[in-house]
Amino acid sequence: MHKINLITAPDKINSRSFKFLLIYPSADVTEQLQNQIAEWDNPIDIYMYDKEYELDWLMDVFNMADCVIWDIDNTDDQAIRDLGSFLVSFPKTYWLTKGDFIVYNKLSLNKVYNLDFIQKYITGGNIEI
């Protein structure tokens, strides 16, 4: 069994673990992540952002993260929505939404409908969306 650390603001861990950042994840997103990493033998740090007013922490952790998953539909924090175009402009950011007419489609092709893409991280292959 591998080691999984669940980290929330204001804490940070400096380790060589694979780092996920979940931004306003729904229960479904966290369950999908749990299922995807269940058999992964690497140490994992999972950072969870689900509070307002922790933007400095969020930006620090965003820079550290290997993979960022943002559940747009579960986000009601206007500050995060204002940062959205910056967040999705990075290739490590994958975003979920049921909205069709969203400007992020012009900035990033990393819109996902589930977390099956994580298997590519686990197997070390190329990620195709």
Residue 11 tokens read as 């804490």
Q: State how far the Cα of 51 lies from the Cα of 48, in Å rounded to an integer.
A: 9
- Is residue 76 situated within a structural domain? yes
Does 129 fall in a domain? Answer: no
pTM of the model: 0.88
Parent domain of 98: 4-123
Query: Per residue in 30-72, pLDDT tens?
Result: 999 999 998 888 899 999 998 877 889 999 999 999 999 999 9
Considering the domain boundaries, does residue 11 fall inside one?
A: yes
- Taking all residues of the chain, what is their mean pLDDT, rounded to a whole number? 86
pLDDT at residue 128, as a whole number: 42
According to DSSP, the residues that pair with 19 across neighbouring strands are 45
Domains in the chain, number: 1
Is 89 part of a structural domain of the chain? yes
- Give the C-alpha separation, 93 to 91, whole Å: 5
User: In 10 A of CB 91, how many CB atoms?
Assistant: 11
Place of tokens 């966290």: 30
